[in-house]
Structure 1
Amino acid sequence: MSFRALWIDNTASRQYCFSEQHPFHPIRLELTEQLLRQCDALDDSLVMPPLSLEEARDTVRRIHRPDYIAAVSALSAPSPRPEDIRLAAQYGLDADGDTPYFPDMEAASLAVVAGSIAAAEAVMSGRADRALHLAGGLHHAFPDRASGFCVYNDAAAAISSIRSKYGARVLYIDTDVHHGDGVQWFFYDDPDVFTLSIHETGKFLFPGTGFHHEWGHSAGYGACLNLPMEPYTEDDSWLDIFRHGVERAVSAFKPDVIVSQHGCDAHAFDPLAHIHCSMRIYREMPRLIRELADRHTNGRWVALGGGGYDHWRVVPRAWSLLWLEMSGHPLLERIDSLPLGGPLPEGWPSLDSPLKPDQLPRTWLDDTSTWTPMPRRQEITDKNKAMLDIALQHL
């Protein structure tokens, strides 16, 4: 049976949790699914399981170094050996770092990979036009080390699976506020994988890369586009740069499938970045990607989650808007026609937590008329336009 859009079950991936205090917390997944179900926008018939951990392990072995995989396995024990702990920092997994090792880390990381490969396989096999795995999008992991909350790079694994099994040309679009460095470097010399990342400039934000002169290497020269945005960029400038960049990339590269990463930490409420966008960009970016997929890839679109650290006010709304676009749900018509998108479901969220904010948004979109305007708005906009002109020179 062919579905228009499939949701990859992320239950197993919710074990990917460094600690209760860590900003990368799976409560985001639970809150998002709860919101969609209260809207009657997620039906069990559209949910498919991930692949097995063994299938995921096979792909991980193709893209990550054997000594790194061995370190991940050793540090996943309930009480790792002292000699393994001494090597943790070498592999980006030190207990005091941003990606600390935790019990059963290997199984949890493989579960994330298994979900993202399942999404890719659902689309490439023709079972679905679009597939979403929100637990995925761990775009900072490198072949030989963890980085930025990411152990195994499930996005690179999904792309690698598509390339090896189907030989398809892949356009990877990364909308996380942090540069999609891991995925870029995995495919930096590959002419058949185009990586596009829009993010806050690395001059001020982790991981310190993603500048407009990073255009690819060797045979992959020209198959890379970075759009580094100025701090305190707002909706209009962000969307203008994104639209011009992604349309030019699609036109120049002519992909067979789009794989997109949907970190939602470019929102003004996010505590780990300095971009000042609203929920509007998370309504508009999926719409544009869907339109491009419909026009250029016969609808083939694989979407993954990513960052986003305002767990209650931002992530569930942003990721729900992504699924509503992917699934073509009629609720979108109401959101687009009502002021601020209309109200969220009464009683959401019912999930109880000591971290739950006292004040939560009650509408799908933000009332930016109450926000203080950025005093350097025109200067920021002009700088972003000048960056775009340089970034697009090679396309």
Structure 2
Amino acid sequence: MSGSASFVYHDQAMNYRFHDQHPFHPLRLQLTLDLLSAASALEPSRIIPSRPATDEELLSVHQPAYVEAVKALSRRRPEAEWIKRAEEYGLADEDTPYFAGMHEAAAYVAGGTVTAVEAVMSGRAAHALHLGGGLHHALSAKAAGFCVYNDAAVAIAYARRRYGARVLYVDTDVHHGDGVQWSFYSEPEVCTYSIHETGKYLFPGTGSVSERGEHLGYGACMNIPLQPYTEDASWLECFEVSIRRLTDYFKPDLIVSLHGCDAHALDPLSHMHCSLAIYNQMPAILHELAHTYCEGRWVAVGGGGYDMWRVVPRAWSLLWLEMSHHPLKRELAPERESSHGISLPQSWIDKWQDHSPVPLPSRWLDDLTRWEAMPRRAEITAKNRESLAVALQDYPAKA
């Protein structure tokens, strides 16, 4: 198997766009591509063009009536009867409103993640990243939470069908990865893991520790719901302990991970207080696990993240730096004293500052000396450890 990492991308990814004021805006992806380019971190030879998912691939997860509805509402002038039925399919609210070209754009998103899985499972690449992916809230017959087709679920179904792979899905978005979980809730060969802000206060309201799978899939589902205002240390403690235990228990052939970066303190749609540190360290943990258990087979996708100027480009770039073994990632290692002082490329800042409504960051990592600690830190940490203990109770630790 090649030791390289591939970057899956197609210009069609920019067409997955609800409207200019919508928080899930493809400019996030453009900002990241430009940052990687400015950092000389994305070689053209690593880029693999994606393709649209076929109807057969979409139907491995989604209901035929739903795909028909998405296609009908994608026309420039949908028929009145379909507009009346849009709410039935989750395509009429402000989160996920239908738009012209929706089916084609969403099919390219799903196809991009399938392309990433094919690159890794065929041996063309050890790792593959598709930042345009990460639509984890889409359900079998309904759109939800900015998501039309569930690209992660479609790609996992492809890996199962084509390669018989045993798949571990790891979701680090601040919102619970509900759509992927429900797609494989009774499937013993797909294990779903999600670490997120508790659903007591945040969409989609699911993801409790009691959701553990059903029937033959019982035990192949783990959720780590964390308290609002969780900080880096508690998030990373819960993530590292749980994902190491689960990976050793499940022993996957392939890891598929989703990297929403909306647990950051600056994100406007959640209530967490993490920094870029978790987005620097979580990929490193997954990278190690992929080589320990899967002969390196690792596919990663994007996800949420709604401070698109200050957070998303840095977090997603850090993911690629890790996957591609870029020398800059070693300089940003947390044990290096100089890591927090490494500057972003000035050319990137100069290009985008006039477009940004906020001052752009000057460094790759956040300067935590300027951050105030949460007053309930000890209580939050204790609550998170309680949830962690409950989640791990059925998974024996290594002797």
**Same fold flag (TM > 0.5):** yes
Contact kept? 1:178, 1:207, Cα under 8 Å: yes
Specify the SS of the correspondent of 1:260: strand
SS at match of 1:289: helix
In the alignment, does 2:178 pair up with 1:189? Answer: no
Q: Which of the numbers 220, 225, 230 marks the counterpart of 2:222?
A: 225
Partner of residue 264, structure 1: 261
Q: Which amino acid aligns with 1:194?
A: C
**Aligned to 1:195, what secondary structure does the other structure show?**
strand
Give the 3 Å change call, closer, same or farther, for CA 341–243 of structure 1 in structure 2: farther
Q: Deviations along 1:165-214, whole A, 9 cap, x unmatched? A: 00010000000000000000000000000000000000000000000010
Residue 136 (structure 2) pairs with residue 136 (structure 1):
no
What's the CA shift for 1:344?
A: 0.3
Give the gaps of 5 or more residues in structure 1: none
- 1:341 Cα deviation after fit: 4.8
Alpha-carbon RMSD: 1.3
**Which residue number in structure 1 is paired with residue 297 of structure 2?**
300
State the distance in 2 between where 1:64 and 1:97 align.
22
Aligned to 1:170: 167
Q: Which amino acid aligns with 2:356?
A: K
> What TM-score, normalized to structure 2?
0.96
**Native 8 Å contact 1:32 1:317 kept in 2:** yes
1:56 Cα deviation from its structure 2 partner:
3.1
Match of 1:201 in 2: 198
One of 79, 87, 90 as aligned partner of 2:88: 90
The DSSP-based 3-state class of the residue aligned with 2:347 is: coil
Q: Structure 1 length as normaliser, TM-score? A: 0.97
Describe the SS at the equivalent of 1:126.
coil
The match for 2:70 is 72
Show the counterpart of 2:13.
13
1:332 and 2:329 aligned = yes
Partner of 2:390: 390
Q: Which residue of 2 aligns with 1:212?
A: 209
Partner of 1:247: 244
1:59 aligns with 2:25: no
Point out the more displaced range, 368-377 or 208-217: 368-377
1:80-119 correspondence to structure 2 within 5 Å: 80-94=78-92, 96-119=93-116
> In structure 1, what is the equivalent of residue 361 of structure 2?
361
Cα distance, 1:110–1:341 mapped onto 2, change above 3 Å: farther
Give runs of aligned pairs for residues 371-382 of structure 1, distance below 5 A. 371-382=371-382
Give the CA deviation at 1:335: 2.2
Q: Are 2:127 and 1:121 equivalent residues in the alignment?
A: no
CA shift, 1:10, in A, is 3.5
User: Secondary structure at the residue paired with 1:394?
Assistant: coil
- The question of whether the paired residues in 2 share the 8 Å contact of 1:335 and 1:341 is answered with no
Partner of 2:39: 39
1:355, distance to aligned residue in structure 2 (A): 5.6
Are 1:191 and 1:220, in contact at CA under 8 Å, matched by a contact in 2?
A: yes
Structure 2 gap ranges (5+): none
